[in-house]
Amino acid sequence: MPAAESRRARSVSARPGPWPRVQARLRRVLHALAEMFYGATGFEFERQAMRVRADLENFFIFMIVGELIGVPVLPPYYALRLLPYLVGDIAAWKRRVLRPREAVEREEFELHGV
């Protein structure tokens, strides 16, 4: 049997009937609903946790490499040993702390729909 024909035969026999397709679609819909539900409930807690962690990290990195953004901080000499661990985060940190912010940016939870 030529290769193309055998491939066609395999694909015909492996083609799922309507029920598995319905099942797959149902799974996708349920997954989407679960995600929406998470977005409306737990996501805000996750964002809050991320912000708290980022605030601490901002401050920590600032104490070590604050000079990079023009603040004359004198870190202890042993902070140099931390540098290899920070290098990957420095670009994102600089963007985060130097980005212009809106007055109400940190307080906008739930207020979108006044």
Residues at the contact surface with another protein, assessed by CB under 8 A? 32-33, 35-45, 48, 50-52, 54, 92-93, 95-96, 100, 102-114
Q: Which of 111, 112, 1, 101 is nearest to 51 (CA)?
A: 101
Q: How far is the CB of 49 from another protein (least distance, A)?
A: 9
28, 75, 98 from 17: Cα distances, Å: 17, 67, 56
Q: How far is the CB of 83 from another protein (least distance, A)?
A: 19
C-alpha to C-alpha distance for 75 and 62, rounded to whole angstroms:
9
Cβ distance to another protein smaller for residue 1 or 103:
103
Q: How far is the CB of 8 from another protein (least distance, A)?
A: 32
Cβ distance to another protein smaller for residue 9 or 32:
32
* Contact between 90 and 61 (Cβ < 8 Å): yes
Cβ distance to another protein smaller for residue 21 or 31:
31
Q: How far is the CB of 23 from another protein (least distance, A)?
A: 19
| Farthest CA pair distance, the chain | 78
